[in-house]
A and B are shown apart, each in its own frame.
Chain A
Amino acid sequence: MQRYDYPAIGETLYCDTLRSGLRLQVVTKPCYARSHAMLAVNYGGADRRFLLKGKRRDTPMGVAHYLEHKMFAMPEGDAMFTMAASGAQPNAFTSAWMTAYYFDTTEEFETNLRTLLRFVSTPYFPEESVEKERGIIGQEIAMTEDDPDFVSYTELLRSLYAHHPLRDPVVGTAESIQAITPKVLELCHKVFYHPSNLALTVVGDVEPEQVMFTASEILRPSPDPAPVRDYGEAEAPEPQRRRFTRAMEVSAPQFLLGVRLPDPGTGPERLRRRLLGDLTLSCLYRQSTPFFTRLYGEGLLNTDFFTEIDTGRGTATLLAGGESREPERVFDRFLELAERVASEGLDEAVFARKKKAFYGKSVRGLAAFGGLCENLAEAAFGGYRFLDAFAVLESLRAEDVQDYVRQALRREGFAMSVIRPLREKEAESHA
């Protein structure tokens, strides 16, 4: 295994690619009782269409998420319960780009790691249990439909993307999941759960060599199906819809604005772009900026306001949302600031201070084992080393932020979703 030391932040990273193709990354944390392990699949809700040995495949919405629900089932019982009984807290998530299975434990790390590797690599989809899951997932979908955040997010992506499968909810729809059969699950498991499409990341007081040994023992080399993913035709430069609004059971208008960003690429350039994007948000928009404090003081934003970048394969999306009585004014102010920074740049002293704060928060962020595992997995798939971020950060300058804003935050690229209260009158009586 290769070892990389980062003395300034007190971390050591071990990485390797095993013979099976599995990418392994371990950050050791001496003296910690907890360990966190994540087995991530480079496959998510957006990977619906692909070419396999020259043949086009089009799978229903929601397969990656359905698989996530069914993977825990094993011939000898549910792996979720097996792990919980060994003191671990297991869980999983599916995003548009990744499916990840993980656990956090202070007991029996090795036993739990074995269970994790086994259940993710064992396709076991009995008809009856797949059928039963349909009810559970159907309820999950029903719940998302009551969730204003979910609605504004899905609809914003539909505004920004005309063709890309990011338009479709990761969980699928009540209708789409009807077409998900054990056969479909088997196919997608075979195609995407190959070890060469997986990353195992571990953070904790563990022996990296032992982790490697266990992983090599359970995940064996096999021929790689090597699917070619298809995300549809290229998107037009501008969003296909500027606004979406819906009335729901909310207390005050909720908004989510966003813009498609340029292709984030792969390798070290991807890391740099990710950091630059994140630093830009911290310099311009996050809660310690004058942008936020002004709007907060004027009663146009509250502390729910957030902004982030969702980086995928070949696409990235900037999102900013929260609650506001006047989403359109927030939208305008957001764009005015981008335009001002694009033309005037940032004050050097302010930039230096923001960078200092960004550094401190990022170092402190390393304490979140789950988040670190996820970042390591993203880095394994993206072709860079996550902990290099601190050195890259050092190299970023105020002009880089200006260039980024000029390129990426163009007015014509933005769209917004607004969820307004059903009972508009009541909500206004207070204002």
Chain B
Amino acid sequence: MRLRRRELFPGVFLSTIESNKFKSDCLSLNLLAPLERETISKNALLPRVLARGTMFHPDMDSLNAAMEELYGAQILPIVRKKGEMLALGFYAGFLSGSYVPDKSPLLERVCALLGELLLSPATRGGLLLRDYVDSEKEKLIDDIRAKLNDKRSYAPARAVELMCAYEPYGCDDMGDEAGAEAVGYVDLTRHYRDLLQSCPIELFYCGSARTEKVAQALHDALITLPRGRLNEDLGTDVRMNALEDRPREFHERLDVGQGKLCLGFRLGQCMEDPDLPAILVFNTLYGGSVNSRLFRSVREERSLCYYIDSVCDRMKGVMLVSSGVDFADFQAAKAEILAQLDSLARGEITDEELRSAKNTVVSALRGVMDSPAALENYYLFQTLCGLAYGPEEDAALSDEVTREDVQAIAQSVELDAVYYLEADEEAEEEGEATDDAAL
């Protein structure tokens, strides 16, 4: 399984993995743009608007019919925050060549449709349709508001937003309500044309077709892509230390029965020259698996929380611990989370737990090779970090991580912010208002 890479047009790179293993091919198209407050709403909105209709398939019904004819191919708008970059575009999944009953050329047709979605949107007078833009704005605002509905994901997202309020990283990949509200269709059209000119583009394909064939199909599909001066100023600023002398505290109140506690950390000096496999092993050992310190101590041994995990963004050098905690246990849980980090910093790491964490990482990396979608996401990260190796080498590097490597990272990590989601005592008590008489 080898990654091939070539430049199709100026700044347009295609990465491919040829494999007969899968029943599903995957193809993604990503425009790379900086993550910034001024453009995030337009960027978040654009793929959604483009997916509403094209010059040749002017509405969702005709687009859906076309994709159904391609054996239920899916082309979905996708916006991903990668450090302080944004990858926006489309992700396509479709039936692999040898499983297509009528042998129709799905790859070429999906590429053509993808090109059409990017380059030939439905327009009037050269402008994106106001109707589609307004409707997608409304949906985006609904989605931004709906983050509140799942408190388990809402809490860590909010913690990052607050902790990184002065960095682009504090932007959510959907932006905020006010930003979405302010986007107009004329403005969005102009932004769209700028992006086509200036964004580096990453294309990724994994499936049974030969690279030559994929390159040809994409070349044909994107032949009208306008290219201007490319944005070369893409990257992520890493802040090494906490913002203030003492960790900042944020309290938010909502009508909930269970509290959420999130701790935001900077990975610190180790980000000078980050050892990415070691950070992965460190995070897995600390809070990234069922065998982790946090899971075993805070949840299993001390029953201080229902769930707990940690995630690291290795581009930005930020780690977030998030947990569901009874209000009464907030301080005890926080103390235990920090005590476990201190213990790792003192090098109190058993052979067994190091082995277990490495096994988990190695297993996950080997598993990446079993899924086109996982490969796509993996290689997008590698490409954006300028790394040339694949999951196999990554697994080997992870397996070499030592106790001292993990300890060094634990020593470098610095707590920057603590976020509490608490009960809103003023919310009115609402009973079970049932209404039998509705019919």
Using a CB–CB cutoff of 8 Å, the interface residues on chain A facing chain B are 8-10, 31-34, 78, 80-81, 84-90, 104-107, 132, 135-136, 139-140, 142-143, 145-148, 241-252, 254, 288-290, 293, 296-297, 299, 302-304, 323, 353-354, 356-361, 363-364, 366-367, 422, 427, 430
Instruction: Please name all residues of chain B whose beta carbon is closer than 8 Å to the beta carbon of A360 when the two chains form the complex.
Output: 70-73, 94-95
The answer, yes or no, to whether B296 is at the interface (CB within 8 Å) is yes
A80, closest chain B residue (CB): B290
Q: Which of B21, B257, B430 has the most CB of A within 10 A?
A: B257
Complex partner residue of B432 from A106, A246, A356, A367, CB under 8 angstroms: A246
Complex partner residue of B370 from A9, A33, A242, A357, CB under 8 angstroms: A33
Closest 5 CB pairs of A and B: A360-B71, A357-B72, A251-B145, A87-B359, A360-B72
B329, closest chain A residue (CB): A139
The answer, yes or no, to whether B332 is at the interface (CB within 8 Å) is no
Contact between chains at B255 and A248 (CB < 8 Å): yes
- Cβ proximity bits B138-169 to A, threshold 8 Å, 1 near / 0 not: 11011101111111000000000000000000
Bound form: Cα–Cα A391–B363 in Å: 35
A-B contact pairs, 29 of them (CB 8 A): A33-B366, A33-B369, A84-B290, A84-B360, A85-B355, A86-B359, A87-B360, A107-B362, A139-B258, A139-B306, A243-B438, A243-B439, A244-B435, A245-B435, A249-B148, A249-B149, A249-B256, A250-B149, A251-B147, A288-B68, A293-B60, A296-B60, A297-B135, A356-B68, A359-B71, A360-B94, A360-B95, A363-B99, A367-B371
Bound form: Cα–Cα A19–B98 in Å: 39
Using a CB–CB cutoff of 8 Å, the interface residues on chain B facing chain A are 21-24, 59-61, 64-65, 67-73, 93-95, 98-99, 101, 135, 138-139, 141-143, 145-151, 177, 254-258, 289-291, 296, 299-300, 303, 305-306, 324, 326, 352, 355-356, 359-360, 362-364, 366-367, 369-371, 427-428, 430, 432-436, 438-439
Contact between chains at A356 and B72 (CB < 8 Å): yes
Contact between chains at A33 and B151 (CB < 8 Å): no
B424, closest chain A residue (CB): A249
B221–chain A nearest beta-carbon distance, Å: 21
Complex partner residue of B433 from A31, A107, A247, A299, CB under 8 angstroms: A247
Complex partner residue of A85 from B21, B352, B366, B367, CB under 8 angstroms: B352
Q: Known pairs A85-B355, A367-B22; list 14 more (Cβ under 8 Å).
A: A31-B21, A89-B289, A89-B364, A106-B362, A136-B303, A136-B306, A143-B257, A245-B434, A296-B60, A354-B68, A356-B68, A363-B95, A422-B428, A427-B145
A417, closest chain B residue (CB): B434
Given A107-B362, A297-B60 in contact, is the A430-B21 Cβ separation under 8 Å?
no
A357, closest chain B residue (CB): B72
Instruction: Please name all residues of chain B whose beta carbon is closer than 8 Å to the beta carbon of A290 when the two chains form the complex.
Output: 61
Given A140-B306, A142-B258, A366-B23 in contact, is the A323-B359 Cβ separation under 8 Å?
no
Instruction: Please name all residues of chain A whose beta carbon is closer than 8 Å to the beta carbon of B428 when the two chains form the complex.
Output: 422
Bound form: Cα–Cα A106–B147 in Å: 34
Bound form: Cα–Cα A250–B150 in Å: 9
Contact between chains at A10 and B306 (CB < 8 Å): no
Complex partner residue of B23 from A136, A289, A367, CB under 8 angstroms: A367
Instruction: Please name all residues of chain A whose beta carbon is closer than 8 Å to the beta carbon of B362 when the two chains form the complex.
Output: 87, 106-107
Contact between chains at B366 and A81 (CB < 8 Å): no
Given A10-B98, A364-B23 in contact, is the A135-B303 Cβ separation under 8 Å?
yes
Instruction: Please name all residues of chain A whose beta carbon is closer than 8 Å to the beta carbon of B433 when the two chains form the complex.
Output: 245-247
B135–chain A nearest beta-carbon distance, Å: 7
Instruction: Please name all residues of chain B whose beta carbon is closer than 8 Å to the beta carbon of A80 when the two chains form the complex.
Output: 290
Instruction: Please name all residues of chain A whose beta carbon is closer than 8 Å to the beta carbon of B93 when the two chains form the complex.
Output: 364
Given A84-B289, A90-B290, A304-B146 in contact, is the A242-B68 Cβ separation under 8 Å?
no
Complex partner residue of A252 from B23, B142, B369, CB under 8 angstroms: B142
